[in-house]
Structure formats: C-alpha cells, structure tokens
Amino acid sequence: MGFALGDILDIPLNTYYRDSPWERLKVPCKEERTYQSKYAYVLTSRNGSNDRSTIPRSNIWKSWDRLSLILENIPSEWCKVENKRLFCIWKLLHKYGNITYMKLQVPDKNAKHTTAIVEFSPPPDTAFWEPGDKIVEGNISLTVRLNLKANRLFNHKPAFSEKGYRYGSMVHFPLSSLDLGQRYDQEMVSLFGTNSSNDLKNVQLSVNFSKKRLSFTFNYLKDKDDEIFRLDFDFQMIVGNIGTRYYDDHMLFDFEFRCAPSIFRKAKVPRDASTKFEWTQADSWRRQCDLISQEAPSIPNGPLTLLNDSNVPIGRCNHLLFTSYYGQDNTMNSLAFLLRDLEKLSVRSTLSEIILVPSPDYREICSWLQKTKLSNQTLYWLEACVSQFLISEFDLPTLIPILESVTEEQARSFLESTFARKVFVSKPSLELVQNQSSASGKKFTSGLNSVKKVCITPTTVKVMDNSLEAGNRVIRHFSQYNDRFLRIQITEENTKRKIRSNPDALKQESVYARVYQLMSHGIIIGKTHFEFLAFGNSQLREHGAYFFASGEDESADSIRNWMGDFSNNESVAKYAARMGQCFSTTKDLKRFQVKVEKRNDIIRNDSCFTDGVGMASLSVMKRTASEMDNEEMFPSAVQFRMGGYKGVLSLAPPTLLEYHKGNLVFTRDSQEKFKSNFTVLEVIKVSRFSHAHLNMQLITLLEGLGVPTSLFVDLAKNELKELTISLKDPRRAVTLLRNHVDEYRSTLILADLIACGFMQRNDSFTKNLINLYFEWVVRTIKEKQRLRVKEGAFLMGVADETGTLKGHYNDSVLPIPEVFIQITDPSKNADATVTGKIKTTIIMGLCVVVRNPALHPGDVRVCRAVRCNELLHLKNVIVFPTTGDLSVTEMCAGGDLDGDEYTVIWDPNFLPKIVNYPPYIDNAAKRILTFKEGVPPIESIKAFFVRYIKYESLGLISNSWKAWAHDRVNNPDGIFGSICLKLSALHSTAVDYPKSGVAAIMPQEYRPKAYPDFMEKEFRSFPAMTAVGEIYRYASAFQSQYFKKAYSSKLNNDYDETMKLPPYKQQYIEIAKKSKEQYDNDLRSVMTHFDIKTEYEIFTSFLLLNKDKETIINEYALREEIAFQFSALKKHHTENYFALCGLAPSSVKDMSKQEYEQRIDSAVAAAYDVMHEEKIAAIAEGTDDLVLTSFPYIFHKVLCRIARRHTLESLSS
C-alpha cells in the first residue's frame, strides 16, 4: 500500500520542476537536529569539531566514526619479517574491534623500541587500555594513548546536514534485501540474493561520491562458512535511471548495469600484514571471480564456459534490486538527500515497474546447449548472442527447438543478424526466426582476416565482434582453418580495460587462477573446444593470445611445429617471444623469391654495432615500395620478418655491385632468432620521414640537462597560436600541415585536400578532418606535451656498412660520435608529384639523438651529423657508426637496430648544457626465467602468460618516475635524484620483462608522495613548477577557450561541383554502390575491433582516446596497428574497385593514357556521388551520425587531380 509523503515527514512539501520520486523526496529537515544513525554516516572534513558535544571528555571517542590510537614501547624485533611485523599488532588487538589501519614506525638502527598507529572503525566497545593506558599480553606491555591530532578529524556527524548537504564523500545505508538477476521485459529473474534462497546478512549500501561508486557489502553463509563479500558498481555502469517504488515501511530500488560488478571477499586474517609497515583495511579485500568461500582458490580442472551451473552466476546478471526500511533513524530523509546528490552526478531516478520473479532451474537451462544438435558454427553465434544479453538463456528451451527446425542458413542468419543489430530479442518465435534476414548480409572482402574474438573477464565470457586484421604468417598459411582460430583477451568486466597487475598474490589470486584455468584447459564455446596456441609481443602487452580448435587434420601442436624450431631458447619468455614473432602483423611479398646470404655482425667489447640490421639489394627495395605504397621511388630501409629472421634491411651500398645482382637479402646472426623453413619475405614498415616531436619524458630530461624552461613553454604557445590562425586560412593550413608530418602521412593527405580547394568548397569530410586534427593537437599538447620541433626528424636507425663514421670512444676527452642524416622534407617537396623530383637535405652539425622511452639522463645523446659521400644512397634514416668502443644505439635507452626509431633534433637551442651524461648500461649478468625440468615448454609458457599479467609494472614505474622527477620538495635533484635513477633502472628491467621473464617489482617506498598537476590525480596534487607543468596549465586554458569537439561537426548537403567534370561516371554508379557497402562493412569492423567511435580517427590515426583507454594501452602501438590495418584495407578496396570497373592496369592495355585517366576520374567521381546521395538521405532521416563518408577519399590523389583539372579548365575558360 502506498502513502503520502507528508504522512511520513511532518513538514511542508516544496514544489519541484520534475515529477520524479527523488525530487518529491528532496525536502529539508524541519528541525535543526543531528541524527545519530549508526548506519548513515560520513567522515568529517579536516575542520570538523566537537564543540557542541555534551559527552564527558573521557568517553567522547565513543561518538566518533573512527578511533586512532598510538602504541608505544613496541619491541623493535617485531619489525623483522620473520616476526610478522604488523600481524603481531593485529593479533594482539583485533579482538577488541574492527581494525581499519595500522602503521609501524621503522626504528632507528640501535633502537630497542618503536611506535605504531592503529585505527578502529567503529571505535571499540570498551576502553581496553584502561586502567593505566596499558595493554598487557604475556610478557608484552604496550603503552596506549589517544591520537588526538588524528581523532579531531573523526568526530561523528550525520550523512547529511539540515539542508541536505553531504558532509563527506562516503555515506552508508542499511538494506533489508539485495537481489541480482536478469532483466526480462518488466520482470527481473533473480539469480542471487535474498529472494533466491541465499543466506545474506548485514546487507549495507556504501556510496563513494569521490570515486563515483556504489558498494554493497553483506555476510554470505555458504557451505557452513560465513564470509563477508563486496560488490562494486561504478556510476557509469548504470544504464538509464534508478527505478524507485515506496511502501509503508520500506523503499525499493533497482537499476540495470552494463557489466558485472567487481566482487571482493574480506580475508578473515590479514596475513599480508606480516610483510608490511603500513596496512589498511583495503588490503584485506580479495578480488573474486565468484561468491565462493575459500581462502586459497583452486584451479578448476576443466575448460572455461559461458554458462556455468556450478557457482553463483554473477557474470550472467544485468539487473540489481534492493530495499531499505525507513527505521527510526531518519533514513527516509537521508535516502532523499543521497539520491538528490546522485542526480547531480547524472544518476537519475524514475518510478519502477519491475517485478521480481524466482529463477527456474538454472542447471537445466545450462544443459540445453549440450543437448542440442545444432552445428558448431550456429552454436558459436547463439552463445555470442547469449554472452551479450541479446538472447536470454531462459529462452533457450524455446529457441533451440525452433533453430533446429529451420535450415542451417536460416538459423545462422537469424543469430548473426541479432548479434549485429545489438537489440535484445524477447520471446523468440518461429515466425521471427524465419523472417529475420541477416542485418549485415556481408562477407569480409578487404583482404584482411576475420578472426573470432572473446573477452575473458573475472566473472564471465563475452563473445565480441570478429577481429578484422591485416594478417600474419600463421593466419595466412592456415587460412582454410580460419574459423577455428580465436583471439582471446583478459579484461576487466567492461571489456575496455586490462586487468590491473598486482604483485600482492593474495589480492587477485582468484583472478589469476581463472586465467591459468583458461591457459591450461582452454575454453568451450558452443561445443567447440579452443586451446592455447601462442601469443605475439603486442598481444602479450594487451593480455591477449591466440587459441585454436584442434582436430584430426590440424592441431595447435602441429601449427607450432610448422612455425619453427624454438628449442635453442633457454628462457621461457624468449621462447614465447620467438613464437610470437610469427604473429607479427605483416604484408608478404607474394611470388617474390629472394636469395639469402649471411654476413657477420660487427662486435667489439661485447657491444654489437649491427644488432638487428642487415642489407638488401635495390630490386628488393623497389618491390617493397610497390607493396607498401611508398610515395618515394624506394625506401632506404624496411622492417621485415622472414622465417626465423627479424629486424631491418637497409639498402646495400651501390659501390658493392655484387650486392645488387638479383633479389638478394644479407642477414646476420643477430637477426636469426630460430630455425624455420618459411622463406617468404614479409614487411612490417618502411623508412619514411616524419617530423620530430617532444614528449613529457624528453622535455623533463632536456630541462634537467640544462635546456631553458622558457624554450619549451614558448614552443607550446607558438604552436597553439599557429594552429588557431592557420586552420582558418587554407594557404597557411597547407603550410602548417606539411610542416607537421606525422608518422602515417595523414597531415599530407589533409594538406592535399585543402590545397585542392575542398576546405573552401565546404566539404564536410575535409572539415571534420580539420576539426579532428585541431582537437587532437590541443589534447596531445596538454596531456602528453607533444610538441613539434621544426629542425628535427623521427627516423628509423640503420648501421654504417662502410665503416666511415666515427663512433664513441671511451678515452676521448669529449666523445661525440658521428651520424649521417639525409632527409626528404615534404614541406620542401610540395611540387614533387608534378615534377617527379624529390629534393633531399643533408643535416650537418651537433644534434640530440633520443630513443623512446627515455627516463635516464644518459639516454639523451649528443652526436655530430656529418656529410658522408659513401652513404648518400641512404635517406630518411639515421645511420649510426660501426666503429668505436660502444654502440651509440645501446647508449640510447638500450636501443638496437631491429626496427627502433629515433628522435633527432639539430636545432642548436635544444643542445643540453650537460653533454652525454654517462648512460645506464646494465653490466650485471642477465637473469632469465628458465624452464622447469620435466615440464613441457608450452606449459611453462602458459604459466609465464599468467605471471606476466600478475607482475606487469611498466606503467606504474613510468608514472612514479614522472611524479618524482617533478617533485622538487621530496626530490630536489629531479632526474638526477637517486629515486629517479633507481626507477629508470627498474624501468629498463620492466621493458625487458616480455623477453627475459624477470619481473620488475617496484618497492613500496618508490611510490610517489605527491603528484604533479599535469598527471590529473584527485588527491595529493601540486602545481609542477617545471616546463611540463607550465605547458599543461597553458594548454588547459587554451583548450577551455578554443575547444572544438571533433564529433560535433555535422554533415552538410553541399555538393562539390568539381565532381561533375568526369564524363563516364554514370557507367560506374552501381559498382560504386556495391563497393562502398563492402568498404563500409570492413571499416565498421575495424572501428569495432579497436573501439574507435569515428571513421575520421581510423582514416588519420589521430585518436581521441578516453582516459581509461589511455591508461591501459600503448597509444603509439595502437596508432601504428590501426594505420597498418587501414592501409591494407584501403589498398585492397582501391584495387578491387578499379578491377570491378574494368580499370585494373592489366586490363587496359589498348586504352590511351588520357582515356584511362578520365575513366579512373569518372569511377572516383561515381564513388563520390554515391556517398553524397547516402549522406543526403541520412541527413533527411536524422541518422547522419551513422552514415560513413570516407569511401571516395581513399582515392584522395584522384580527387585532387579532378579538382586541379577543374581549376585549370575554369582558368582557361
């Protein structure tokens, strides 16, 4: 029965602008009074006081939320690990109450006693230290006194003031029930909770406003063992509004959530306290994969599955319902004020109509997937739909017989369509299945490979959209088994973030056990059993791997045997890395045989000067150029894979004529990583020119080495000023873009479009690219301090095969090694496409050479760029000497020549005052993770995968270095401080972790004490008085003033009149429609795979990543992968479209050059017309945010030729 709110609260009601239940509850308290609710409380601010309290001073602590005590006369022996440190204190005091914090003071060298701080929350029931302020246990007698300084912060206040304002960031409420389940129309099927016969006690809701998180804690009695669990829901997980319904004595709340909550179990005994000097209650929470009661999780002996009936299926829940009694503590008011504050954070409310229903027999439901006779492929897509909550498992008893009654094609079409549309199917019927045609109706046509993908989260399995990839050696060779490959990735519940590494084994042991179960026993989807195959280096960093469904014809073992012989690797990690070499994303030079000859490495003083680099003949380079669409005649270097070889091939000196007699490749021992019979040459990338850019780390190092702060700040200000002015003026925009060439040449494409008038003609695609570029530059300057240096370049490194350049000598007074740099700056070659001539510039003089990532002062090297006639055949690379005592690349943050790229700056203003600080060279014996005797190598590799996830710490170390380097209070020596030098050494270990298997464990004392403002931490932040800090604050102010959102650019109806010029375009319209549909399908697949929202980001690789994504992936590697895949997609669709139009070069031998160009122009103009018609229709329907418009722009050179021809004809007329 309902009630009138005025009956509950004897106060006048206010009128609010929205008719929401929470709005009607938002009322002030009638009287000025304090509600001493033992449930609804917060921690007070630092200025809190107890002046109005009438409680006698001796008992005042009983009203506080927490009590802090100081313990004295603690034996120093307790500080030893073998004596269990803080565990001794916990063991002594935990019987008196709930301990939430302990800190043990590290004693002086000869001190016999030390002190500790212990906090209780809530305070103990009795003053156990009385009488005498002592606690005696056996022969131990400790002095106890109140920590008055800390306790002044803990005096109790209610959750909300008389006016309804929160006092702090955390509030708590008692709940009378809690249920999780699946939403099905207006019902919620309970899978766990109070109404599912689960014995829950002490259920409580905690709201953390600072972290924007809801937490539900409860005692759960299972198998006669009472455990405390916690479920965490971030606000952003909530879908839509919170539903509400109120009754006489309680209120009901419910909400849908996007992904399963994080599950934690509270350890009964804080065993980890025995190794620590500081411990918080948070350390006692253990991440769980299920609601199970066990201290040390065991590894299930079987493969992972989606529907698991053995435990509580929290991962299969998407809806939560809870109730709260009003009680006598004014909980009604507190709930009203709580949800008023939630609405301020966009968590809104509405009246709920949900009906809670009991779950049917879940074990019987799960068995339907095993009993069905559906094919493996149909079952895969059925389970895919179930995993994404597009089909409920509760409909399986109805749906499976229907799918069995129709044809295989109809069943798969229905499921694939459902998965593609991402719309929940309620109450499926035979008629629906028969009428539902495939939403996509597509097959992948791009020449890229469609690989199944699954995300493994702590609680569930999620089948994702197929991964569209440019391909690797293994996928290409075993293409007939393409549907048996599976890419898995270990992620958080939202599938957007990696599992955070945690060296504390107790914290996430349950999660690691689940990952090991996956690696050891594989995963079953439908009835297909996928088992571990291998992982590449990039997959490992993303916590991913390849799996394969073995059969009688082919198995994971047979594929690994085909890949090569890896037995010469003693290190587990290196063995895995060598297998991963076969999974590098490459382009193979089809039907191009090369002859391989061996050359010796140049080694001196245990330093390899040719580490990873060989040579190739001119014919190999020319073939590579055509395959990679290189705009130059041929590259000077290529990064390659071939069998067991990897590294770089540079163009052999032309003076060595015997090196150019045929398709020759000259390899070195440093390039051969394993033996393989595979002999096809595969290319990863070619050497190209791009401008140099500073970043946070490099600015920090250069500033510490003596480069003036003002230089960097002025550079940022000038770049932002130039950006604002130039993008309003087409001519200046072209100059700007050609002076800011990125690694993937996207700025040059945009410059060409603007130069040919597309910006002036209001072309929406071009304008959207401009807006994207504007936002990307501003964001990268603010967040990464990415500043372009005009007199600089970013180049691939190669070796001086002639031995001409002077190297680094240890006995030199000022060792300045020589390098050779010859570049083709696009800003000086704007007319190259017309004249066919490319101008080169040879750099001479002192320059700065750096390889990223660089954290040590010695990573910044000063070299002398010289002219060397013997090396004139090499351009757009940096050539390092092969003479001297030590390799220059090794001094650059441990670099080599197997594909590493180097930032080179020859602007004299950037030369540091401290020249060539001693580099960090780790001369200690290299440690490796070796194989266990008697254990098959593949089993050790599986274990290493789990170990890597557990101990990966590269980002943590890098961020700690960043904080310490800018903290002049706690580390006045900056980059030269001992903490920064130790972190840089630790960082080097972390970088080598994937190959050495030796983890870099960062000690607790290396964690920052405070964070500079540019790291945007919520707590302990300070304004960095360094160049990076000044740039951050200036760019933040600039962004606020000039911000343009890339997504805000709307499509327009404007038609480019130049596209009317080509005479034959009507002949190609129908072909263009089909080709665009195929292109759009493939492009959407790439966008989905990388979780990129707009086609403009894919087209340019200017990525606007959100904060969560930035913290879990290497943005540079992601941009590189996207650029590679889009390049392959673009090349395929360009060739395929012209072939369908009958314009492939092999089919137009009898056509004149003029007619051929006219027909090519007409085909591209037809593609533009098709795009324009779709765009107009989408604008009219209001779906312009869904249409893709980039298809004609993959032919941007032809578009520009049409525009130039139109301009010439206009001038002549």
Q: Is the peptide bond before 122 cis (omega within 30 degrees of 0)?
A: yes
- Tell me which of 628 and 1163 has the higher pLDDT: 1163
Reported as a pLDDT band with limits 50, 70 and 90, residue 62 is confident
* Lowest-confidence pick of 159-168, 363-372, 879-888: 159-168
Greatest mean pLDDT among 87-91, 440-444, 970-974, 1014-1018: 970-974
* Same domain (yes/no): 1181, 1070: yes
The full length of the chain comes to 1213
Residue 951 has a pLDDT of 92
Quote the CA–CA distance of 574 and 566 in Å, as a whole number.
Answer: 9
Reported as a pLDDT band with limits 50, 70 and 90, residue 23 is very low
Within a domain: 669: yes
636, pLDDT greater than 90: yes
Look at residues 387, 420, 386 and name the one whose alpha carbon lies nearest to residue 400: 386
- Per DSSP, the residues of 92-117 read HHGGGS-EEEEEEPPPPTT-SEEEEE
pLDDT (mean) for 818-841: 73
CATH classification at residue 224: 2.30.29
Within a domain: 425: yes
* Same domain (yes/no): 343, 396: no
* Same domain (yes/no): 404, 528: yes
At 987-1006, the pLDDT tens digits run 999 999 998 899 999 988 89
At 100-111, the pLDDT tens digits run 898 988 888 788
835, pLDDT greater than 50: no
Domain final position from 104, 130, 153:
153
758, pLDDT greater than 90: yes
Does the CA dihedral 1155-1161-1164-1165 come out positive or negative? negative
* Lowest-confidence pick of 82-96, 275-289, 511-525, 923-937: 923-937
Within a domain: 433: yes
Within a domain: 792: no
Count CB neighbours of 634 within 10 A: 17
Structural domains in the chain (count): 7
At 535-585, the pLDDT tens digits run 998 899 989 999 999 999 999 999 999 999 998 888 899 999 999 999 998
Q: Which two tokens stand for residue 29?
A: 């308290």
705, pLDDT greater than 90: yes
Domain final position from 684, 716, 744:
684
pTM attached to this predicted model: 0.87
At 1035-1058, the pLDDT tens digits run 999 988 876 554 455 788 889 999
Q: Which two tokens stand for residue 909?
A: 């203003």
* Same domain (yes/no): 1032, 1096: no
Look at residues 535, 557, 533 and name the one whose alpha carbon lies nearest to residue 544: 535
Residue 459 has a pLDDT of 94
* Same domain (yes/no): 775, 759: yes
* Same domain (yes/no): 372, 348: no
Residue 137 has a pLDDT of 76
Residue 163 has a pLDDT of 54
* Same domain (yes/no): 1080, 1173: yes
* Same domain (yes/no): 118, 183: no
* Same domain (yes/no): 379, 482: yes
Within a domain: 1079: yes
828, pLDDT greater than 50: yes
Containing structural domain, residue 124 = 60-153
- Tell me which of 329 and 806 has the higher pLDDT: 806
Query: What average pLDDT is seen over the chain?
Result: 85
* Same domain (yes/no): 479, 407: yes
* Same domain (yes/no): 600, 453: no
Residue 1047 has a pLDDT of 46
Residue 1181 has a pLDDT of 87
Reported as a pLDDT band with limits 50, 70 and 90, residue 1105 is confident
pLDDT (mean) for 115-119: 91
pLDDT (mean) for 481-510: 87
Within a domain: 353: yes
Q: Which two tokens stand for residue 242?
A: 């919170």
CATH classification at residue 114: 3.30.70.330
Reported as a pLDDT band with limits 50, 70 and 90, residue 1208 is low
* Same domain (yes/no): 953, 1028: no
Domain final position from 1046, 1079, 1111:
1046
Q: Is the peptide bond before 853 cis (omega within 30 degrees of 0)?
A: yes
At 340-378, the pLDDT tens digits run 778 877 788 888 888 888 878 888 888 888 889 899 999
Quote the CA–CA distance of 674 and 563 in Å, as a whole number.
Answer: 10
Reported as a pLDDT band with limits 50, 70 and 90, residue 965 is very high
Residue 710 has a pLDDT of 96
Within a domain: 303: no
pLDDT (mean) for 189-204: 87
At 289-346, the pLDDT tens digits run 988 755 556 667 889 999 876 667 899 999 999 998 876 555 677 777 777 778 877 7
Reported as a pLDDT band with limits 50, 70 and 90, residue 179 is very high
Reported as a pLDDT band with limits 50, 70 and 90, residue 502 is confident
Within a domain: 322: yes
CB-based contacts of 347, cutoff 8 Å, min separation 6: 235, 238, 241, 242, 339
pLDDT (mean) for 688-704: 95
Residue 28 has a pLDDT of 37
1213, pLDDT greater than 70: no
